[in-house]
Structure 1
Amino acid sequence: MGPQRRRREKVVLPVTSLLQARGPRSPCLFASGAASQSGCLLSSAEAGLCMAHYESGFDTAFVDHNPDGSSEYGIFQLNSAWWCDNGITPTKNLCHMDCHDLLNRHILDDIMCAKQIVSSQNGLSAWTSWRRHCSGHDLSEWLKGCDMNVKIDPKIHP
């Protein structure tokens, strides 16, 4: 299942307005904010959109519990056994963060941790959803209908 056709959605806003909403986000809003915050989301905006769609449905507050006792948090479903500390699961905490910080409206920490995962040995393949739904597929459809006119917030990027 790929992205559905959407009406053209113009996105011109400062990054801080992206950070105000909690829960599911518009894919265009997510892409523009992520691009302006991190320079490049994961390996591309399209890759980030595909992954976020299949991992959480763009829901920043999404938590999923695994049979092994670990949990996955936030828009990229970062696992508590490896990437963050939820205070319950034994963890490597490779992103040096509290898992609950991945559930708030501020997604910069989610993006930075995801970028760390992407730069590791497994890259995007660390996510099952990437392997099943995104890898090897034409991802250009994910940004169709989005005008990627992003204003960089000087408070975040001086």
Structure 2
Amino acid sequence: MRMLAVVALLNLVLVASEAITLEPCALALELTFWRMSGYLGYTLADWLCIVHHVSDFSIQPPLSKTAEKAYGIFGFSNKYWCSDGVQPSRNYCNISCEKFLDDDIQDDVLCARRVLTRNEGAQTWPQWAEKCRGKDLSSYLKDCKL
């Protein structure tokens, strides 16, 4: 009986530690639902490009060995945007970083909106400025039926 409990616990830990990977078109649909298409001039393709280059559509606990870590599909920093209870944080989104580690993206979207309005738009994400801005991003939505 004890061995069965240990095996069940190990399975739970393994499942909990696996990353959640979002499908790009499903994410585009969710972003549309949360009215991110066109928000402050950014297209769905801009958002998918950011997510692609920040997290590769994966929601997983941060692997960084430094005190500053990035959380969720938008890579929110525990130094500025959320609090992990370890790193001193400005916590501009007023949220626990753990909230960005599930597949409910409502809190991610609300924080992304705050990032855009508080800072200099999507330039807050260096990945967007380097890999997305001014580029043809149509490939991000080519297979999506929106």
TM range, normalised to the smaller chain? 0.7 to 0.9
Bigger Cα Rg: 2
- Displacement of 1:31 in angstroms is 0.5
- Displacement of 1:64 in angstroms is 4.4
- Displacement of 1:62 in angstroms is 4.6
Q: TM-score, normalised by structure 2?
A: 0.79
Call closer, same or farther: CA 1:76–1:90 in 2, change over 3 Å: same
The residue type paired with residue 132 of structure 1 is: E
Distance 1:34 1:40 in 2: 5
Distance 1:44 1:116 in 2: 17
Tell me, what secondary structure is at the counterpart of 1:63? coil
Distance 2:65 2:130 in 1: 18
Tell me, what secondary structure is at the counterpart of 1:147? coil
Distance 2:119 2:92 in 1: 13
Summarize deviations over 1:7-33 as a string: whole Å, max 9, x none: xxxxxxxxxxxxxxx611111011001
Cα RMSD of the aligned pairs, angstroms, is 1.6
- Displacement of 1:70 in angstroms is 0.9
The answer for the alignment partner of 1:5 in structure 2 is: none
- Displacement of 1:65 in angstroms is 2.2
Tell whether the 8 Å contact from 1:117 to 1:126 is kept in structure 2 after alignment.
Answer: yes
Call closer, same or farther: CA 1:66–1:126 in 2, change over 3 Å: farther
- Displacement of 1:140 in angstroms is 2.0
Tell whether the 8 Å contact from 1:56 to 1:76 is kept in structure 2 after alignment.
Answer: yes
Instruction: From the two aligned structures, give the one with the greater helix fraction.
Output: 2
Alignment of 1:9-158 (within 5 A): 23-36=20-33, 38-41=34-37, 43-65=42-64, 67=66, 69-148=67-146
- Displacement of 1:126 in angstroms is 0.5
- Displacement of 1:60 in angstroms is 1.9
Tell whether the 8 Å contact from 1:62 to 1:75 is kept in structure 2 after alignment.
Answer: no
The residue type paired with residue 52 of structure 1 is: V
Call closer, same or farther: CA 1:82–1:107 in 2, change over 3 Å: same
Summarize deviations over 1:3-56 as a string: whole Å, max 9, x none: xxxxxxxxxxxxxxxxxxx611111011001211x1125522111100000111
Tell whether the 8 Å contact from 1:64 to 1:73 is kept in structure 2 after alignment.
Answer: no
Tell me, what secondary structure is at the counterpart of 1:31? helix
Q: TM-score, normalised by structure 1?
A: 0.74
Q: How many residues align?
A: 125
